[in-house]
Amino acid sequence: METQESFWADNKKAKVLSQEKSRLESEVNGFKELDLLFSDAETMFQMAEEEKDDGLLQEASDMIAPLAVKFEEAELKKMLSDPMDPKNAIVTINAGSGGTESQDWAQMLFRMYQMWAKAHSFDLKVMDVLPGEEAGIKNVAFTVNGQNAYGLLKSEAGVHRLVRISPFDSNARRHTSFTSVFVTPEVDDDFEVVINPADLRIDVYRAGGKGGQGVNTTDSAVRITHNPSGIVVTCQQERSQIKNKDLAMKVLKSRLYERHLEEERKKMDAIENSKKEISWGSQIRSYVLHPYKMVKDHRTGFTSSSADVVLDGDLDGYMKSYLTCKVTGNWARGGDDLE
């Protein structure tokens, strides 16, 4: 009883341990389920072979498809082994140069991630968005909450290129647009990220809106600038200035933590394969809608001719191929070969 009381005395530590316990229990239960399904299928095949029963053989074959899906899910979870992989993700999309064309492409990417999150029952919340003058968005920041959200979405960090006939060009010419995606894990209070208050500039302003009842008439939006790093974070998701400030600080901590990790990786010379991923002007993926349809990831070589399906959020193949390459080190070579 004393042990239980001392355990719950530290709420933060208790919460972390409880979450870890739930995660481990889920993994163990998943393995047990997989083992049971495999054992049942194996037994059914043996019975069908011994009795030479076509009906039993069909039943055994029918058990293979769901078993294969379970094995694939288990394989994916095994690749999500980095300490930060289970965390929620903070995603920022920034339109590149090119005005309306690029801003529309940023809006398309945002929709793609919304569709992906919905398909996986992840909770996506917009923190801040800056609309374009004519169409699309200049930038948007949002969180994706769910198990392994960061581990999956980290494959999306980098520059995304779109090739299409522009709907904004009266001459129907082909345009190429670039948009960058930045992904960081959501860092909670258990990670040591020391921020000197003197290094911060905090501005408050009235949250934007399209008019009507949705407009916030108070100065609740918050912009935090971290002077040493130059990182700027804005949040106008909540109506409370205090809540927006807390969310903005959480994002700032996450970005500073990610920057620290990046510096460590550079010191260890372990980011040679990821330099292409984060370099503006060196796209990680191309989405071609004209003269043919194709989406190709230049790091992994994974390609789909169903561009519309990909833009509707079907990203699992790209994410799995990225994780596989991280494990094996077998990255694609040859660069960009799409027109």
pLDDT tens digits for range 123-167: 999 999 999 989 999 999 999 999 899 999 999 999 999 999 999
Strands 294-297 and 303-304: antiparallel
In tens, the pLDDT along 31-80 reads 788 888 888 888 888 888 888 888 888 888 888 888 888 888 788 888 99
Q: In order of start, what are the domains of the chain with their CATH numbers?
A: 2-79 (no CATH), 89-182+271-328 (3.30.70.1660), 197-267 (3.30.160.20)
Residue 264 φ/ψ, nearest 5 degrees: -65, -40
Confidence of residue 280 (pLDDT cuts 50, 70, 90): very low
pLDDT digits 0-9 by tens, 16-33: 677 678 767 877 887 788
**Contact predicate 332/321, CB 8 Å:** no
Q: Is 214 helix (H, G, I), strand (E, B) or coil?
A: helix
Distances (CA, A) of 164 to 273, 276, 295, 298, 339: 28, 23, 12, 18, 11
Closest-CA residue to 181 (of 139, 136, 223, 152): 139
DSSP label of 170: T
